[in-house]
Amino acid sequence: MNVCDLAVGGIAGLQPYVPGKPIEELQRQYGVKDVVKLASNESPIGPSQAAQAAIAKAIRDLTRYPDGNGFALKQVLAEKYQVEAGQITLGNGSNDVLELIARCFVSPEDEVIFSQHAFAVYPLVTQAIGATQVEVPATAFSHDLQAMQRAVTSKTKLIFIANPNNPTGTYLSGEQIYAFLQMIPDNVIVVLDEAYVEYGENEFNSIDWLQDFPNLIICRTFSKAYGLAGLRVGFALSHTDIADLLNRLRQPFNVNHFAMSAAIAALGDEDYLQRARQVNAQGMQQFMDGLTAMGLSYIPSRANFICVDVATDAADVYENMLRQGVIVRPIASYGLPNHLRISIGLQHENQRCLDALATSLNNEND
């Protein structure tokens, strides 16, 4: 007997999510010091002082379970986003919420729609359930919303949209998404994953749409612009009925005490957010200029990373950059074998990365 045959749904067929290479692993592997990691879309500016102070204060409560309802964090989020606390579902990162949504609404007979080149967790959670993955071809590296709408059938239960999308950084306008939502039947759940929304100019507020669309779920995270990836905290905003279902399903203490304390502090640290946005905008410009000077094309990005077409097998370029102590992200698994995804870092990190990229491309051409 093969125990793998005992696993439910599509678990035996799962390919585990591959995270960016950890700095320590590269140090061990190649003996390089002074590693620059621009591979996981993390904040390059270190955590907010306010968040650090909140964690220091929270240490004294370590013997206690965290507040299972996340009351204090939900209050602050409700105030900030002008929603009811009952519309919020907290998660151990927004990944947790994405998985909860799939488990809550999708059964093996159902179909789940997402775009080609979209965030890897959407196929992963769908596969785990054993449901049918409907991957809709992208247009110019972005979601083709019309084609996604045409892909809806009587079996469609859930649609994932990432805006901006990871790994491409592409962005859909408010009008495009609103028009899409109007076309989707209300028995299909639409997840609008806005993990990188804080880096944009906020031309529209998707939260306003929750009143119009009871089937809409908006996911956000503290991992990116708020700089708390290591703590794991994210959330969903939705109709109270959906939040009620998700809150029944989630583990009682899925978000830890440090994460909630730091998230509350981070929400109040407007200066940190501004600095994160500013450093990102400057670094993005630095990369766009540097890549253009090297004659490389890139996908215009609204997030904290940029996807560059290295016009050759990106796996080799990635390896070569690793040996120079720079970790970026190859994205062949996203159907982009000639692209590298580079997270925006501090100015000197970005320069190291551009230099390493130039060196490895020169080596390729020798």
Ligand X SMILES: Cc1ncc(COP(=O)(O)O)c(C=O)c1O
Query: Under the rule (CB under 6 A), what is the footprint of ligand X?
Result: 41, 93-95, 119, 162, 166, 193, 195, 221, 223, 229, 234
Nearer to ligand X, 160 or 213 (CB): 160
Nearer to ligand X, 42 or 110 (CB): 42
Distance CA 208, CA 314 (A): 41
Neighbour tally for 82: CB within 10 Å? 9
Nearer to ligand X, 81 or 358 (CB): 81
N residues, the chain: 366
Query: What single-letter DSSP state applies at residue 227?
Result: -
Q: Which residue has tokens 């005992």? A: 6
CB of 180 to ligand X, least distance (A): 17
Q: Is 180 helix (H, G, I), strand (E, B) or coil?
A: helix
Nearer to ligand X, 227 or 290 (CB): 227
CB of 223 to ligand X, least distance (A): 3
CB of 228 to ligand X, least distance (A): 9
CB of 58 to ligand X, least distance (A): 20
Beta carbons within 8 Å of 208's beta carbon, 6+ residues apart = none
How do beta strands 216-221 and 234-238 pair?
Answer: antiparallel
CB of 203 to ligand X, least distance (A): 19
CB of 171 to ligand X, least distance (A): 12
Nearer to ligand X, 303 or 361 (CB): 303
CB of 241 to ligand X, least distance (A): 23
Q: Do 89 and 243 contact (CB within 8 A), yes or no?
A: yes
Q: Which residue is nearest to ligand X (CB)?
A: 93
Nearer to ligand X, 263 or 317 (CB): 263
Nearer to ligand X, 219 or 265 (CB): 219
- DSSP for 13-82, written as a single string: GPPPP-PPPPHHHHHHHH---S-EE-SS---TT---HHHHHHHHHHGGGTTSPP-TT-HHHHHHHHHHHT
Backbone angles phi, psi at 309, to 5 degrees: -90, 110
Nearer to ligand X, 10 or 234 (CB): 234
Q: Do 310 and 338 contact (CB within 8 A), yes or no?
A: yes
Nearer to ligand X, 156 or 221 (CB): 221
Residue 204 CB-density burial (10 A; 0-12 exposed, 13-18 middle, 19+ buried): middle
CA dihedral sign, ordered 121, 92, 13, 338: positive
Q: Strands, E, within the chain: which ranges?
A: 36-37, 88-91, 111-115, 132-136, 156-162, 189-193, 216-221, 234-238, 297-299, 305-309, 326-327, 329-331, 336-343
